[in-house]
Amino acid sequence: MNRQTTLPTSVPTPAVAATLERQSALRERPAGKAVMYHTWRHLLFAHWRVEPERIQRTLPAGLHVDTFDGAAYVGIVPFFMRNIRPWWSPRLPWLSDFLELNLRTYVHDEQGTPGVWFYSLDCNQPVTVWGARTFYSLPYRHARMSAAEPSPTARAIDYESRLKQGNRFAKLTYELAGEVRTAEPGTLEFFLVERYVMFANRKGKILSGRVFHPPYPLAAPTLTTWSSNLLDDHDFGIAADRPPELLHGSPGVDVEVFALT
């Protein structure tokens, strides 16, 4: 399978194309001091294939759709945010643990740097929503969310998110099980999950921020219930009742977050 293929003529050609080598190199820790520390737990990566032209129409100038074997992908990723803190602060129990669910796609910039473009990031911690929108120019939204971490006697995760303003929601039940492994470079799962750059649009200027963590330990997920209308705000060509085509899961990683530049 090819990491990148020639795009249709309606999709602008970047000055430099993204490559597997470029994506692999970004797994190295960047120089300097992290500005935040996170732990991401019990992640579900739920993806749909999308025509590249549809994704490109949704992107700001300066970003280009990233493809694998000619297909673009959009994903919904629910997970548990734990131990969130800036570098100068200890963990605060009432502020550091919350839920997040993002709607995303995969892009690269004019220099061929591959990363993630977020359409929305729903979160039940209002301070985080304010801080991420203010300092990272990320499209965070305040939502009512509920989920309990799995236990040895109750491994299934019932995850629900509903915007406080608007009618967008996601409701799903998933479970992670089986032997843990890492994604092999050059595979589709590596293309989807091993992303270490996030892009933001600040008043028309594209900024990027690095994250660093060990390669995701991947576990096979089971999705038993699914209901969401989060895709309806975008012309992806995905029917409202169409379940995800691809599922990956991870028990989680510890993360260093670096400043936007």
- 233: domain CATH number? 2.40.400.10
Contact status, residue 65 vs residue 55, Cβ threshold 8 Å: yes
Question: Has residue 12 been placed in a domain?
Answer: no
The per-residue pLDDT for range 224-261, each reduced to its tens digit, is 999 999 999 999 999 888 999 999 999 999 999 999 99
Domain membership flag for residue 197 = yes
* Nearest CA-CA partner of 13 in 4, 26, 24: 4
- Please check whether residue 16 lies inside any domain of the structure: no
Residue 14 has pLDDT above 60, yes or no: no
Closest CA to 53 of 18, 15, 17, 9: 9
**pTM, full prediction:** 0.93
> What is the reported pLDDT for 1?
46
Residue 126 lies in a domain: yes
Average pLDDT over residues 117-138: 96
User: Does the pLDDT of residue 13 top 70, yes or no?
Assistant: no
State the pLDDT confidence band at 90, using cuts at 50, 70 and 90.
confident
Structural domain includes residue 118: yes
Please check whether residue 28 lies inside any domain of the structure.
Answer: no
The Cα 225–Cα 22 span in angstroms is 36
Question: pLDDT tens, 80-89?
Answer: 999 999 999 8
- For residue 171, the tally of other CB atoms under 10 A from its CB is 14
Domain limits for position 67 = 34-260
State phi, psi for 18 to the nearest 5 degrees: -75, 150
Distance from C-alpha of 123 to C-alpha of 140, rounded to nearest angstrom? 7
The answer to whether position 170 is within a domain reads: yes
For residue 11, what pLDDT band results from cuts at 50, 70 and 90? Answer: low
- Which of 30-34, 61-65, 148-152, 193-197 shows the lowest mean pLDDT across its residues? 148-152
- Count of structural domains within the chain: 1
Residue 120's contacts (CB-CB under 8 Å, 6 or more residues apart) are 102, 103, 139, 140, 141, 168, 230, 233
Q: How many other CB atoms are found less than 10 A from the CB of residue 259?
A: 15
- Sign of the torsion formed by the C-alpha atoms of 168, 175, 27 and 110: negative
What is the Cα 99 distance to its own chain's centre?
14
Question: Does the residue 212 lie in any domain?
Answer: yes
Distance CA 119, CA 123 (A): 13
Task: State mean pLDDT over 94-110.
Answer: 96
Secondary structure element (H or E) that encloses residue 251, with its range: strand 246-260
